[in-house]
């Protein structure tokens, strides 16, 4: 018996109800990837901004790529309003996160699995600096403090 006949026999012997699970088995590994989780997190922030921010006072700009000294950087969300310009970095993680604002990297831990990642605070500073340069701004006010680059 060749492989083609064996495959056809297998396909014909499976009940019709099993075929509903095939897309699920194909889709499930994709849904568990960090890429998909990141996209889902960004979509949740986009939806929350559209639902809860007054459209006459806030304007949401998504997925902005700006030049930096060492290439480019991509900002997830920029919210522009008369109250200021807000740069939002989205992280969609389900785990314990260990670290503080003075460290360069944080550790996320779920059960026995640990992973190190660059802290969002540092990334946000890089985003703000790139946005400042693109807009020609010399100074920015962050948490009531004036920061110049």
pLDDT tens digits along 114-142: 999 888 888 888 899 899 998 887 665 65
CA–CA separation, 83 and 101 (whole Å): 25
Asked whether the CA dihedral 88, 89, 91, 92 is positive or negative, the reply is positive
- pLDDT of 24 higher than 90: no
pLDDT in the model for residue 125 = 87
Question: 44 vs 141, which has greater pLDDT?
Answer: 44
| Neighbour tally for 60: CB within 10 Å | 17
- 32 confidence band (pLDDT: 50, 70, 90): confident
Question: 44 vs 123, which has greater pLDDT?
Answer: 44
Angle at 93 between CA 88 and CA 96, to 5 degrees: 115
pLDDT in the model for residue 92 = 83
- 147 confidence band (pLDDT: 50, 70, 90): very low
- pLDDT of 79 higher than 90: yes
User: In degrees to the nearest 10, what's the CA dihedral of 146, 98, 46, 33?
Assistant: 140
* This prediction's pTM: 0.69
pLDDT in the model for residue 149 = 38
Give the contacts of 61 (CB within 8 A, at least 6 positions apart). Answer: 77, 78, 79, 80
The first and second tokens of residue 81, run together, are: 């309003």
């Amino acid at each position: 018996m060749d492989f083609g006949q064996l495959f056809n026999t297998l396909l014909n012997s499976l009940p019709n109800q099993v075929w509903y699970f095939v897309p699920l088995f194909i889709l499930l590994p994709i849904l568990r990837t960090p890429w998909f989780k990141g996209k889902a997190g960004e979509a949740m922030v986009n939806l929350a901004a559209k639902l809860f921010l007054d459209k006459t006072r806030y304007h949401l700009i998504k997925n902005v790529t700006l030049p930096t000294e060492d290439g480019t950087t991509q900002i997830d969300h920029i919210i522009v309003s008369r109250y200021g310009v807000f740069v939002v970095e989205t992280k969609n993680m389900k785990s314990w996160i260990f670290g503080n604002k003075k460290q360069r990297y944080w550790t996320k831990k779920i059960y026995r699995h640990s992973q190190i990642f660059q802290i969002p605070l540092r990334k946000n500073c890089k985003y703000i600096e790139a946005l400042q340069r693109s807009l020609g701004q010399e100074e920015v006010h962050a948490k009531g403090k004036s920061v110049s680059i």
